[in-house]
Chains A and B, each alone.
Chain A
């Protein structure tokens, strides 16, 4: 899609993939951080990772396995915390542990049988060997996540404000909330192959955290977070490919540097300092 700017095919695909993935993750990341379900996002990311590892081992479609695992976790959290009488926090901890155990088991096993290379891609991401179809899928999920937020903006702001108050107002909190978890699971699973299971969480949380340093209003966060994420991700992809560095880890480091800079530049901090 960006061939008219970037001639090199590999670089072009990498930039496109990073662009779409970062926008989708950043938009959902604003919701994840504001509804304070970071631990759900975290656990879903690792479950998708485990699903992908199992899929790869069994020579099934990796993306579909990742989606299934991520969605399963999203819909297991509630019942697990009800039936097993543990707090949602503990339920997430348990699911996270199981996911990591499954993922590491299969990745280690694939190392011993000589399939280690592709397994490493699941861990740290791979933007070099992308198919055209994968890029189209990422473009679609990017559009889906943006449309999801635009269409359900009222309901989402209600849930962000306070779930109980949103319910008391007559908002259909449960269906919207589960739809949200479903879209997060889809996004995580589709972005997993390019960003990697260990790093995807950076894409979900950091852009929103950076935007929060400068924005007082929610609507502004939904605009600033994806723009910042896209700029950093595209820079990371270009720099990584230019200097032959691993793209996703390099970009994750860039995200962290920008976040630290944002904290120091934040006008919010300055105001607080003046008061005390």
Chain B
């Protein structure tokens, strides 16, 4: 599948939450190359969010090996997260949150800038580009807490893009977006994929996917039950079939 060196390589990975008596991810092996578009499906609680956070090192893996963007996730999670954009699931901000959209997007580069340094000109320019990519330049000076859920989601997506990532992890990014925003973001994602970024997206919306080759990964109960390439039009059917197959099993 991956033509060149994989940007994400998981081998027999197990991840357990602190205090849990069994792992949430069981024996996951996954290899994703540059410019691949991976859509992850599966029921609630299957471990999709856990998989994304294992990839970017926010959750420590208990067994196995994970190398992302050339860094060992176990030893250098911070290094991984500086190359990986991650849009967290279900975020909403209090109306009084004292941050403007511009500040939130610039924050996407804070890890890359490094300790004891201030954001420079190129950081502000990258933040501006990210705002433009999502078409939300007009929101730049608005407090993030006073935006709608969909607008907030776009701001956070702009934040993950601001550090020019090699990998983009999106956890249900469409949950608050209207039809037009979905189309716009799908169009953006296909451009990103074409430029060589690996995109992994957890989603239940299969109707309007980017027009590129898609790889479908279905998870059940912490394991990968299906992993194959297909056409965008077949994604919904594949995931539904995988779901009923595991119900019958």
Q: Which residues of A contact B (CB under 8 A)?
A: 34, 82, 85, 151-155, 157-158, 161-162, 164-172, 215-218, 221
Q: Which residues of the other chain, B, contact A158 by a CB distance below 8 angstroms?
A: 107, 110
The answer on a CB contact under 8 Å between B103 and A157 is: yes
Q: Which residues of the other chain, A, contact B88 by a CB distance below 8 angstroms?
A: 164-165, 168
16 extra interchain contacts, Cβ-Cβ under 8 A, other than A154-B117, A216-B143? A157-B107, A158-B110, A164-B88, A165-B91, A165-B159, A166-B107, A166-B110, A168-B58, A168-B160, A169-B81, A169-B163, A172-B115, A215-B98, A216-B98, A218-B99, A221-B98
Give Cα distance in the complex from A174 to B156, angstroms: 22
Interface contact tally, CB-CB below 8 A: 70
Q: Binding site of A, secondary structure by majority: helix, strand, loop or mixed?
A: helix
Question: In chain B between 70 and 94, which residues have their CB closer than 8 angstroms to a CB of chain A?
Answer: 78-79, 81-82, 86, 88, 91
Shortest 7 CB-CB contacts between residues of A and residues of B: A170-B111, A170-B82, A170-B81, A168-B86, A218-B98, A154-B110, A169-B111
The answer on a CB contact under 8 Å between A34 and B98 is: yes
The answer on a CB contact under 8 Å between B115 and A170 is: no
Q: Which residues of the other chain, A, contact B109 by a CB distance below 8 angstroms?
A: 169
Q: Which residues of the other chain, B, contact A155 by a CB distance below 8 angstroms?
A: 110, 115
Give Cα distance in the complex from A235 to B117, angstroms: 37
Known: A154-B113, A158-B107, A216-B143. A170 touches B98 (CB 8 A): no
Residue from the list A82, A151, A170, A216 in contact with B110, Cβ < 8 A: A170
Q: Which residues of B contact A (CB under 8 A)?
A: 18-19, 56, 58, 78-79, 81-82, 86, 88, 91, 97-100, 103-104, 107-113, 115-119, 143, 156, 159-160, 163
The answer on a CB contact under 8 Å between B118 and A154 is: yes
Q: Which residues of the other chain, B, contact A161 by a CB distance below 8 angstroms?
A: 97, 99, 104, 107
Please name 23 pairs of A and B residues whose Cβ atoms are closer than 8 Å in the assembled complex, sorted by A.
Answer: A151-B116, A152-B115, A153-B118, A154-B117, A155-B115, A157-B99, A157-B107, A158-B107, A161-B97, A161-B99, A161-B107, A164-B88, A165-B91, A165-B156, A166-B110, A167-B58, A168-B58, A168-B160, A169-B163, A170-B163, A172-B78, A172-B115, A216-B98
B164: shortest Cβ distance to chain A, in Å? 13
Q: Which residues of the other chain, A, contact B143 by a CB distance below 8 angstroms?
A: 216
